[in-house]
């Protein structure tokens, strides 16, 4: 039996805010105190049972003496507590956690609070006063005896306790945060980030992480959520004004993740960044521009060993690039594209080992996809042979990275500036792999009509990009058309199957919308705006239908054999090219005037809207057969 695995902390679920389970929250401490009281009440009843047992503690004294050095998880009470049947289990607390618990339990101590409901403006000010005194005393002792740690060690211990005593304030933000902002506490906390003792810095980081958490005050049902959010907003604004983010980034270089306490400190620093960016996403621009957070994150995700901090770094990197043009460009300036491709290349031959590494891989792919919205990143992606790597990852059947590589190529090949990437994809023999995935070969799929899955939409997006960007008589375009001709037009059949399925989903959604309109007209209530309804229709099959008809329009116009086969199948469903024109017209009318590739007017790449207009005009000119 692997003892390490037995006592291993459970992995964090994907998609939820990351929390470190090692340090107990005040609610956990309250529960542990309650459990301890219950144990005490049961001890008298259990005493008689233990006396009747054949084997006593004294009889195995030698074995106990041999095992006194072992306590799972560093449990301070492992050999001091036992259950009703005399088995030793301990209280589940390490020595450090017991010390934290004692801070809350000792009501006689200055600033100590037994329960979150005991917090009042007076008790909060008492805690803050104790903290301020501890800071001033420690600074005074350190300045007087800078070369004699024995002179200021006691004040450092008091400061450590005073900092940890601030943790319960996060449970009552409406009561405590106004005093935090009005007092000198925020300034002092930020100032302590430059403290000579890294352990003090780690304590402060943990406190700020708890104070800025979006869930502050949830443990107190008496607090109004709006008031709690307003209090949190005020506190975070105060921290930001004092250059908190810059100081935190500077401290990342001070912490060595070889040490457990430092590793948790890094985790809390990343957590503060997430908290602050969740409060104000626009701060991500300043964070990247004014600090060295971007190169630090890029270096951190390239670490060989995987742990929670590496995963958190990838998640934060994805957050920083989301909807932020300047940060995406900055990624390229720091050689971020090559670094990300290097990280992703490790999943070319293997899958992630667990859910945590899978989440890490997904966040890294998402970061690259966000960056590929910029033309400069596409150039770097091409230069770093990104299309070749993605094609290789697509080749692995049943690989977890396959669908992510398809998504990445869809982003890379879209837009007027993707001409070179589309050609590179063709040269990397990507067509064979693309249509293999499109036809579902090598994977266990149902033989029923295909659904408009995310993977299918990305594959359709890649095909439509190839038709938009490849030259009319280029070898790549000829090879693309040949794929729809081979094997008795099986790809055309597949397209029409996807079209039928998407059309059925859209009809269902249109029926629901029509019924909602009738109810709204009868009741006099308003209905969603046309833009909202259009987005709803897109999610209900219209987007897939538009891309399929865009591809059908191209192949019908460019190959007589495909045209004859496609129209014959469509006629069996009572459809004609008129239906394709109607779909493309809706597509055209709801498309913004996208910017074209920055070239001379006579030489520029056409926009998607211009291409749609040409297709519609050509189909109408042929009589909508």
pLDDT, residue 38, reads 44
Residue boundaries of the structural domains of the chain? 3-96, 106-280, 502-621
pLDDT score of 39 more than 50: no
Residues 6+ apart with CB under 8 A from 505: 452, 540, 541
Q: Which of the pair, 620 or 356, is modelled with greater confidence?
A: 356
d(CA 72, CA 309): 24
- In sign, the C-alpha dihedral spanning 401, 402, 407, 412 is positive
Radius of gyration of the chain (CA): 32
Question: To the nearest whole percent, how much of the chain has pLDDT over 90?
Answer: 60
pLDDT digits (tens, 9 = 90+) for 569-623: 999 989 999 999 999 999 999 987 654 444 445 556 788 889 999 999 999 877 5
d(CA 130, CA 120): 15
d(CA 91, CA 77): 6
pLDDT score of 398 more than 60: yes
pLDDT, residue 580, reads 94
pLDDT score of 312 more than 70: yes
d(CA 75, CA 92): 6
pLDDT digits (tens, 9 = 90+) for 197-213: 999 999 999 999 999 99
pLDDT, residue 2, reads 46
Using alpha carbons, select from 410, 413, 329 the residue that is nearest to residue 371: 329
Helix (H, G, I), strand (E, B) or coil at 94: strand
d(CA 610, CA 602): 14
For the ranges 50-59, 75-84, 518-527, which has the lowest average pLDDT?
50-59
> Could you tell me the pLDDT band of residue 11, with boundaries at 50, 70 and 90?
very low
Other beta carbons within 10 angstroms of residue 345's beta carbon come to 13
* Cβ atoms of 487 and 493 closer than 8 Å: no
pLDDT score of 345 more than 70: yes
- What is the H or E stretch that residue 611 is in? helix 608-621
DSSP assigned state of 31: H
Instruction: Please calculate the CA angle 371-605-321 and round it to the nearest 5 degrees.
Output: 10
- Find the mean pLDDT for residues 83-102: 55
pLDDT, residue 519, reads 84
Using alpha carbons, select from 448, 432, 430 the residue that is nearest to residue 486: 432
Instruction: Please calculate the CA angle 161-165-166 and round it to the nearest 5 degrees.
Output: 130
pLDDT score of 108 more than 70: no
pLDDT, residue 523, reads 77
> Could you tell me the pLDDT band of residue 117, with boundaries at 50, 70 and 90?
low
Tell which CATH classification among 3.10.290.10, 1.25.10.10, 1.10.3720.10, 3.30.479.30 matches the domain 106-280.
Answer: 1.25.10.10
pLDDT score of 112 more than 60: no
- Of the CA atoms within 13 Å of residue 26, those in its CB half-sphere come to 28
Residue entry with tokens 């998407």: 502
d(CA 244, CA 597): 41
Helices (H), 145-218: 149-164, 173-182, 185-191, 198-211
d(CA 79, CA 602): 84
Backbone angles phi, psi at 347, to 5 degrees: -95, 10
* Cβ atoms of 121 and 175 closer than 8 Å: yes
CA distances to 170, 233, 242, 489, 613 from 188, in Å? 17, 19, 10, 72, 63
Q: How far is CA 46 from the centre of its chain?
A: 49
Structure tokens that stand for 557 in this block = 């116009």
Note the pTM of the prediction, 2 decimals: 0.77
CA distances to 172, 410, 438 from 494, in Å? 59, 19, 9
* Cβ atoms of 110 and 130 closer than 8 Å: yes
* Phi/psi-derived region of residue 182, left when phi > 0, alpha when psi is between -120 and 50, beta in every other case: alpha
pLDDT, residue 391, reads 95
For the ranges 37-41, 220-224, 561-565, which has the lowest average pLDDT?
37-41
pLDDT score of 366 more than 90: yes
pLDDT digits (tens, 9 = 90+) for 550-561: 999 999 999 999
> Could you tell me the pLDDT band of residue 235, with boundaries at 50, 70 and 90?
very high
- In sign, the C-alpha dihedral spanning 257, 261, 263, 265 is negative
Structure tokens that stand for 38 in this block = 């219950």
pLDDT score of 449 more than 50: no
d(CA 88, CA 96): 20
pLDDT digits (tens, 9 = 90+) for 456-489: 999 999 999 999 999 888 999 999 999 999 999 9
> Could you tell me the pLDDT band of residue 216, with boundaries at 50, 70 and 90?
confident
Other beta carbons within 10 angstroms of residue 447's beta carbon come to 6
CA distances to 121, 140, 172, 279 from 221, in Å? 18, 41, 10, 22
């Amino acid at each position: 039996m692997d003892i390490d695995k037995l006592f291993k902390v459970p992995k964090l679920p994907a998609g939820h805010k990351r929390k470190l389970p090692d340090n107990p929250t005040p609610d956990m401490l309250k529960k542990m105190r309650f459990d301890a009281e219950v144990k005490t009440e049961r001890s008298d009843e259990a005493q008689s049972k233990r006396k009747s047992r054949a084997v006593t503690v004294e009889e195995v004294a030698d074995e106990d003496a041999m095992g006194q050095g072992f306590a799972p998880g560093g449990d301070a009470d492992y050999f001091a507590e036992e259950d009703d049947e005399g088995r030793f289990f301990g209280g589940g607390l390490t020595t450090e956690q017991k010390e934290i618990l004692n801070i809350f339990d000792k009501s006689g101590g200055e600033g100590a609070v037994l329960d979150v409901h005991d917090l009042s403006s007076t008790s909060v000010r008492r805690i803050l006063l104790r903290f301020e005194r501890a800071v001033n005393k420690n600074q005074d002792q350190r300045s007087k005896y800078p070369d004699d740690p024995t002179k200021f060690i006691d004040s450092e211990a008091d400061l450590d306790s005073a900092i940890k005593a601030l943790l319960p304030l996060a449970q009552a933000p409406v009561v405590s945060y106004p005093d935090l902002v009005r007092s000198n506490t925020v300034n002092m906390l930020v100032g302590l980030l430059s403290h000579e003792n890294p352990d003090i810095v780690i304590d402060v980081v943990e406190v700020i992480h708890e104070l800025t958490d979006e869930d502050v005050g949830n443990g107190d049902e008496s607090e109004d959520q709006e008031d709690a959010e307003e209090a949190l907003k005020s506190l975070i604004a105060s921290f930001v004004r004092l250059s908190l983010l810059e100081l935190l980034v500077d401290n990342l270089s001070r912490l060595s993740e070889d040490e457990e306490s430092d590793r948790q400190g890094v985790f809390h620093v990343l957590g503060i960044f997430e908290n602050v960016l969740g409060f104000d996403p626009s701060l991500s621009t300043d964070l990247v521009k004014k600090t060295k957070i971007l190169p630090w994150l890029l270096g951190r995700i390239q670490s060989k060993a995987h742990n929670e901090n590496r995963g958190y770094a990838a998640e934060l990197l994805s957050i920083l690039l989301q909807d932020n043009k300047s940060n995406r460009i900055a990624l390229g300036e720091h050689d971020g594209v090559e670094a990300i491709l290097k990280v992703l290349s490790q999943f070319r031959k293997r899958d992630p080992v667990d859910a945590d590494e899978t989440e890490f891989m997904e966040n890294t792919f998402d970061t690259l996809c966000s960056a590929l919205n910029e033309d400069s990143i596409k150039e770097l992606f091409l230069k770093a042979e990104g299309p070749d790597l993605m094609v290789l990852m697509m080749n692995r059947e049943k690989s977890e990275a396959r669908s992510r590589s398809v998504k990445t190529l869809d982003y890379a090949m879209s837009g007027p500036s993707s001409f070179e990437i589309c050609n590179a994809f063709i040269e990397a023999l990507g067509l064979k792999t693309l249509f293999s995935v499109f036809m579902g070969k090598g994977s266990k799929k149902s033989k029923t009509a295909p659904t408009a899955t995310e993977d299918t939409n990305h594959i359709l997006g890649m095909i439509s990009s190839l038709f938009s960007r490849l030259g009319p008589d280029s070898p790549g375009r000829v090879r693309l058309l040949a794929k729809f001709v081979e094997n008795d037009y099986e790809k055309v059949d597949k397209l029409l199957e996807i079209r039928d399925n998407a059309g059925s989903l859209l009809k269902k959604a249109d029926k629901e919308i029509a019924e909602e309109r009738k109810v709204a007209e009868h009741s006099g209530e308003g209905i969603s705006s046309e833009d909202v309804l259009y987005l709803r229709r897109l999610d209900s099959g219209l987007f897939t239908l538009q891309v399929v008809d865009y591809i059908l329009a191209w192949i019908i116009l460019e190959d007589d054999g495909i045209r004859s086969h496609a129209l014959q199948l469509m006629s069996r469903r009572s459809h004609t090219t008129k239906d394709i024109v109607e779909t493309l017209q809706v597509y055209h009318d709801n498309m913004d005037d996208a910017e074209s590739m920055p070239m001379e007017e006579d030489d520029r790449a056409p926009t998607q809207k211009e291409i749609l207009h040409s297709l519609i005009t050509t189909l109408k000119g042929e009589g909508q057969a």
